[in-house]
Amino acid sequence: MAATVASSLQIMAARPCLSFSPGVVKAGAAILCSNPKTVLWPKLTNSCNISSLNPFRHGFRSSTVKFSKVVTKAMSESNENRPVSGLPIDLKGKRAFIAGVADDNGYGWAIAKSLAAAGAEILVGTWVPALNIFETSLRRGKFNESRLLPDGSLMEITKVYPLDAVFDNLDDVPEDIKTNKRYAGSSKWTVQEVAESVKQDFGSIDILVHSLANGPEVSKPLLETSRKGYLAALSASSYSYVSLLKHFLPLMNPGGSSISLTYIASERIIPGYGGGMSSAKAALESDTRVLAFEAGRKHKIRVNAISAGPLRSRAAKAIGFIDMMIEYSKANAPLQKELSADEVGNTAAFLASPLASAITGAVIYVDNGLNAMGIGVDSRIFKDLNIPSDKH
């Protein structure tokens, strides 16, 4: 994924290789440089192995792969002792659990990469029916190109956990799911069980990311949505976050951060985004504020949401018109460009860092400014107005 510079600040990230094999690259720190041209940043071309510690499947390692192109420049060992201006995004020694990573092209993956580039250790929770494909793709190196970090190494996922966030504990799981062949071979995948497994394996985490949603009737208008479909959307897309935070809070170190992903349909009409999904996103944002109060008072944990613009992810294709939404955004947003998943990932890294230590209960828009628009300026009604455009 190509890194995108969204302001005068350029993110320079160097990521430690967390491979269990010797020859580890010494860690650098992500830096926000006000003038990146003042320092020469040599490229690093190191690759590292991925180690899956999944107790339900055999461990695997990817082969070492060399890449000739490094998208973002990074600090090297020789530069570590040089004075550098700017503010650090340094998450070394922090551990993140990202719920909802099942491929390499969604926002969850991009967030994992940005957190890893800043030095965090990465754990992920993957929907059980997608677990085998996800792990197989990792093992066979299919994600190696998208695992590439700014320092030239590959993002390491320390452990992959099977997760179905619709179920709080085993008592909630209906018999037809327990016997479903897509769940065969996996165990301890309810929210409570995953939290207990993470505690047993690692003791604590510092960052919790909710990057999952599902609306079985998303293509139906709200007036045609069934009660079952509506409640299913809220269960999978909003209450799942309440459940995750409830069960993971006891594991989170004070000063930690929790982040969820929302969408502008929570407060604006988006025809075609149906099935109760707009209601689920509205609930998620309301819950973010309440959870920020409760988690902040009880555990000193910050809780925020990122309202992201449209992305050509596999999950987004379920609504059926994602390409149209992207073109609409490019035509009408203040910044006329396609949103990069990396831009959402970098915002998450900021929110998880000490730089955002006073930000909680907030919805941060990362959508090229589309949320600020009151009209679609590409309408023929405004054809005679001299509206600024990057085509001029």
DSSP per-residue codes, 320-389: S-HHHHHHHHHHHSSS-SPPPHHHHHHHHHHHHSGGGTT--S-EEEESTTGGG-SS-TTSGGGTTS----
Cα 112 to Cα 119: distance, rounded to the nearest angstrom: 11
Give the residue-averaged pLDDT of 40-64: 36
pLDDT at 27: 38
User: Catalytic residue among 76, 211, 238, 353, which?
Assistant: 238
> Are the CB atoms for 277 and 225 separated by under 8 Å?
no
Q: Is the pLDDT of residue 28 over 70?
A: no
Instruction: Look at the alpha carbons of 225, 229, 233, 239 in this order and tell me if their dihedral is positive or negative.
Output: positive
281 is catalytic: yes
Domain-by-domain residue ranges, the chain? 95-372
Q: Between 261 and 42, name the one with better pLDDT.
A: 261
User: Catalytic residue among 281, 330, 340, 353, which?
Assistant: 281
Q: Between 37 and 387, name the one with better pLDDT.
A: 387
Q: Between 67 and 391, name the one with better pLDDT.
A: 391
pLDDT digit string (tens) for 240-253? Answer: 999 999 999 999 99
Q: Is the pLDDT of residue 209 over 60?
A: yes
For the chain, what is the radius of gyration of the CA atoms?
A: 21
pLDDT digit string (tens) for 56-67? Answer: 333 333 333 333
Q: Is the pLDDT of residue 2 over 50?
A: no
282: exposed, middle or buried (Cβ count in 10 Å: 0-12, 13-18, 19+): middle
What token pair was written down for 335? 């910044």
pLDDT-based confidence at 378, cuts 50/70/90?
A: confident
> Are the CB atoms for 217 and 229 separated by under 8 Å?
yes
Cα 198 to Cα 55: distance, rounded to the nearest angstrom: 12
pLDDT at 301: 98
pLDDT at 195: 98
pLDDT at 54: 40
337 is catalytic: no
Q: Between 29 and 288, name the one with better pLDDT.
A: 288
What token pair was written down for 326? 């992207």
Q: Is the pLDDT of residue 99 over 50?
A: yes
pLDDT digit string (tens) for 120-141? Answer: 999 999 999 999 999 999 999 9
> Are the CB atoms for 125 and 157 separated by under 8 Å?
no
Instruction: Look at the alpha carbons of 327, 329, 333, 339 in this order and tell me if their dihedral is positive or negative.
Output: negative
pLDDT-based confidence at 36, cuts 50/70/90?
A: very low
Give the residue-averaged pLDDT of 24-34: 37
Give the residue-averaged pLDDT of 22-49: 36
β-pairing verdict for 10-12 and 30-33? antiparallel
Nearest to 305 by CA among 327, 286, 319, 322: 286
Of the listed ranges 58-62, 71-75, 166-170, 375-379, the least confidently predicted one is 71-75
Q: Phi and psi of 156, rounded to 5°? A: -105, 130
382: left (phi over 0), alpha (psi -120 to 50) or beta: alpha
pLDDT digit string (tens) for 299-356? Answer: 999 999 999 998 876 666 666 678 888 898 999 999 999 999 999 999 999 999 999 9
Nearest to 189 by CA among 115, 124, 262, 104: 124
pLDDT at 313: 65
Q: Is the pLDDT of residue 33 over 60?
A: no
Tell the residue number behind the tokens 């062949």, with chain if given: 181
Q: Is the pLDDT of residue 225 over 50?
A: yes
Give the residue-averaged pLDDT of 265-271: 94
Mean residue pLDDT across the chain: 82
- CATH 3.40.50.40 for domain 95-372, yes or no, is no
> What percentage of the chain carries pLDDT values higher than 90?
68
Q: Is the pLDDT of residue 286 over 70?
A: yes
